[in-house]
């Protein structure tokens, strides 16, 4: 199985709305292909308009598993009107609120990947609280506040199966490089310190960790 996406998948990724550069997309795709071998779902927190979902979906298709993607589709802090990453096309004209679900559905349909994806619309911690099955990969690319990044980590990292992968986006060790805060970096450090994960890959601000240890990702309740 190739760890590089076919040209048409890469073209769909590049055509989709979103901010992920190609080098990080290629690393995410390789991780998803590898994790797919576990025969378990691949889960993403932070769908936005489906740019990264295309890669998880294609890897899921190849492995015969399902990609699950979680988002409330109302946008992160930095994507709201007046902020640097705002795209006016993502605003629902009737409600005046961001709604990235229509763009996401168009992206996935155009890429021919709809049937390989289950999209869960809601808040990540609320969905995680209902979740009850191991996954081969968790990709954390949701909200960048400490509250959101911590909740994504605590809600989803425990579900990464042994040998499965935890991929964290927007990890900026140097505060001079970050653009939306260092919460993902703090979550990344916490994953390593837990003893449950070992770093196996880096691409730009993307970090790929494998579940290798007996440690509990979230620790004892007192440590949370």
- Nearest-approach distance from CB 52 to ligand SAM, in angstroms: 3
Find the binding residues for ligand SAM in span 115-144 (CB under 6 A): 123-124, 141-143
Nearer to ligand SAM, 73 or 211 (CB): 73
Candidate list 75, 136, 155, 164; residue touching ligand SAM; CB under 6 A: 75
The residues, any chain, with a CB within 8 Å of residue 33's CB and separated by 6 or more, are 1, 2, 3, 59, 62, 63
Rule CB under 6 A: say whether 48 interacts with ligand SAM.
yes
Candidate list 20, 27, 149, 218; residue touching ligand SAM; CB under 6 A: 20
169 is catalytic: no
Among 131, 9, 135, 132, CA closest to 62:
9
Backbone dihedral region for residue 148 (phi beyond 0: left; psi -120 to 50: alpha; all else: beta)? alpha
Find the binding residues for ligand SAM in span 146-205 (CB under 6 A): 148
Specify whether the CB–CB gap between 100 and 121 falls below 8 A: no
* Segment contacting ligand SAM by CB under 6 A, of 48-56, 108-116, 189-197, 211-219: 48-56
β-strand partners of 198:
210
Chain CA centroid to CA 216, Å: 21
Residue with tokens 């709604």: 99
In the DSSP assignment, the letter for residue 113 is -
- Nearest-approach distance from CB 164 to ligand SAM, in angstroms: 19
Catalytic residues: 144
Kindly list the residues in this chain that would bind ligand SAM in the complex (CB under 6 A). Answer: 18, 20, 46-48, 51-52, 70-76, 100, 123-124, 141-143, 148
């Amino acid at each position: 199985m190739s760890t590089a996406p076919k040209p048409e998948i890469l073209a769909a990724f590049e055509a989709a709305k979103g901010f992920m550069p190609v080098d990080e997309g290629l690393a995410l795709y390789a991780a998803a292909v590898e994790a797919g071998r576990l025969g378990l779902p691949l889960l993403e927190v932070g769908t936005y308009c489906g740019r990264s979902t295309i890669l998880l979906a294609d890897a899921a298709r190849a492995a015969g598993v399902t990609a699950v993607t979680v988002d409330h589709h109302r946008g992160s802090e930095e994507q709201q009107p007046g902020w640097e990453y705002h795209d006016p096309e993502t605003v629902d004209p009737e409600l005046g609120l961001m709604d990235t679900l229509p763009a996401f559905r168009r992206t996935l349909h155009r890429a021919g990947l709809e049937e390989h994806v289950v999209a869960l619309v809601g808040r990540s911690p609320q969905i995680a609280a209902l979740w009850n099955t191991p996954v081969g990969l968790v990709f954390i690319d949701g909200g960048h506040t400490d509250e959101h990044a911590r909740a994504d980590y605590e809600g989803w990292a425990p579900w990464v199966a042994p040998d499965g992968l935890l991929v964290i986006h927007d990890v900026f060790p140097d505060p001079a490089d970050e653009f939306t805060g260092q919460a993902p970096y703090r979550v990344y450090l916490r994953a390593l310190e837990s003893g449950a994960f070992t770093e196996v890959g880096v691409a730009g601000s993307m970090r790929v960790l494998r579940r290798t240890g007996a440690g509990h990702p979230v620790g004892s309740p007192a440590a949370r």
